[in-house]
Amino acid sequence: MLVLRLLNVVAPAYFLCISLVTFVLQIFVFIPSMFRDPSTTPLFSPALLHGALFLFLSANALGNYVLVIQNSPEDLGKDLNLGKGAEVADWLDGIRSPGSALPGTHFCRLCARVTQRHDHHCFFTGNCIGSRNMRNFIMFCLYTSLACLDSLVAGMAYISATLSMSFADPLAFLTLLPHSISQFFSGALLSSEMFVILMLYLWLGIGLACAGFCCHQLLLILRGQTRYQVRKGMVVRARPWKENLQEVFGKKWLLGLLIPVQNVESSYRRQKEK
């Protein structure tokens, strides 16, 4: 438990550090290197378009990240008479208490609260993912993946121009790291260039992981399930996939896709049902 609590503190700091490094490299290294002659650069140049795209992706990733933290799942334990002894032990074991009619509820030891439609505890946000912040969490994963892949492409273009390399061969990227390590220790490669190469592989790993996690979450939403329900083998009521999507993303899903906003419709619907 001590290791998990430590990870719950270190992981968000690690994510923010990676985000800051990515922003600095993009704004002060990659994008300026795209300008050959700033005085003759047209208004809609590739460098300016790339900068605008990166700022859009970063703003959405950071905005949804903040909303995931702010929109914490409700602590249902305050409204339920859990009592003491065996009933509390049932919550601690992740089993629904006999007096509760709420499916998918779960007591999180790290957050110390009972949440409805609990999906999982995200260490990178230090918060539980449930009914209130699921949409923002998916948008956070989506835009983080796109921002990392965008940084990967820009970094490869920077390395290609700096080291006069060609990535036309698919194996060139796979062999880039071992060749760079040997050149770095022989003194033929600068530390700044080696750092960018290491960041390329980090962006690739984070981008693919976030993309895979986002697709997995969408598949569970289409089925009307959460990761916690799948892990515990809980049976959920079958509903049309459109209703499952609307419950998470709301009717104005396009607005949430472009701007990091809270899903007001779903929150209002849940309050009305209560």
Domain ranges of the chain: 8-33+44-73+134-267
Calpha distance 10→6 (Å, rounded): 6
pLDDT digits over 58-77, tens only?
A: 999 999 999 999 887 766 65
pLDDT digits over 180-214, tens only?
A: 999 999 888 899 999 999 999 999 999 999 999 99
Candidates 108, 111, 122, 210; catalytic one: 122
pLDDT digits over 78-129, tens only?
A: 555 554 434 444 544 444 444 444 556 777 878 877 777 888 889 999 888 9
Identify the burial level of 22 via C-beta atoms within 10 angstroms of its C-beta, where 0-12 means exposed, 13-18 middle and 19 or more buried.
buried
Q: Are 150 and 53 in contact (CB under 8 A)?
A: yes
Question: Which of these, 162, 151, 157, lies nearest to 190 by C-alpha position?
Answer: 162
Mean pLDDT of 246-273: 69
**Res. 253 pLDDT band, cuts 50 70 90:** confident
Give me the chain's average pLDDT, please.
Answer: 82
Could you tell me how many residues make up the chain? 274
**Predicted TM-score of the model (pTM):** 0.84
Q: Are 147 and 154 in contact (CB under 8 A)?
A: no
pLDDT attached to residue 267? 45
**Residue for token digits 């994963």?**
141
pLDDT attached to residue 174? 87
Helix (H, G, I), strand (E, B) or coil at 102: coil
Calpha distance 149→57 (Å, rounded): 11
- Report the greatest alpha carbon distance in the chain: 75
pLDDT attached to residue 104? 65
Residues pairing with 120 in the sheet = 129
Say whether 111 is catalytic. no
Residue 154: both structure tokens together: 């820009």
pLDDT: is 147 or 103 the higher one? 147
